[in-house]
C-alpha cells in the first residue's frame, strides 16, 4: 500500500487513540495532560504501543488500515506478525522518524512500499487482490 493511503490510515488511528485515551487520562488525572512522568509514559507510549501491537497480532490491522482494506503481514510468508515482530515494527516507527521522518517517507520510493519500520520487522502492508483504482476509458 502506498504512501498517502498509509498517511490517511495513520491519521485515522491517531484520532481514534486520542478519542479513547484522552477521556481516560481525564478521568484518572482530572485533566487532559497527565501530570506525572509515569502517567505521561503510560498514555503516550505504553498504551498506544500495546493497543497497536495487539491489533496487528490479533487482526493484522489497525482501524485505519481496516478502513482501507489493508493488512500488515510477514514479508516472506504473508502470515500474521508474531508479537515479537509486531513490537519490533512499532519500535521501528521511532527509528524511522528520527532522521527527519526519512524512514516513513521511504514507503513512497520503495519497490515493495516498505518503510524502514517494515524492513526492520520484515513486514509489508498489503491489500486484497483485485483492489484497483478506478479507470476511465480514453475519451
1-36: burial string, b at 16+ Cβ within 10 Å, e else: bebebbeebeebbeeebeeebeeebeeeeeeeebee
Report yes or no on 135 lying in a domain: no
Report yes or no on 138 lying in a domain: no
Domain that holds residue 108: 3-126
Read off the pTM.
Answer: 0.86
Count of residues making up the chain = 139
The reported pLDDT for the residue numbered 53 is 98
Has residue 139 got a pLDDT over 60? no
Number of domains the chain is built from: 1
Percent of the chain residues past pLDDT 70, beyond the cut: 92
Q: How confident is the model at residue 135 (pLDDT cuts 50, 70, 90)?
A: low
Report yes or no on 25 lying in a domain: yes
Amino acid at each position: 500500500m502506498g504512501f498517502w493511503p498509509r498517511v490517511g490510515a495513520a491519521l485515522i488511528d491517531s484520532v481514534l487513540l486520542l478519542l479513547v485515551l484522552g477521556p481516560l487520562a481525564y478521568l484518572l488525572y482530572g485533566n487532559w495532560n497527565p501530570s506525572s512522568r509515569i502517567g505521561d509514559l503510560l498514555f503516550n507510549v505504553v498504551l498506544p504501543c500495546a493497543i497497536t501491537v495487539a491489533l496487528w497480532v490479533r487482526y493484522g490491522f489497525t482501524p485505519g488500515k481496516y478502513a482501507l482494506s489493508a493488512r500488515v503481514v510477514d514479508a516472506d510468508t504473508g502470515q500474521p506478525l508474531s508479537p515479537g515482530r509486531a513490537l519490533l515494527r512499532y519500535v521501528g516507527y521511532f527509528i524511522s522518524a528520527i532522521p527527519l521522518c526519512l524512514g516513513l517517507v521511504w514507503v513512497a520510493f520503495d519497490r515493495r512500499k516498505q518503510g524502514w519500520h517494515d524492513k526492520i520487522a520484515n513486514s509489508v502492508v498489503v491489500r486484497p487482490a483485485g483492489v484497483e483504482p478506478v479507470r476511465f476509458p480514453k475519451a
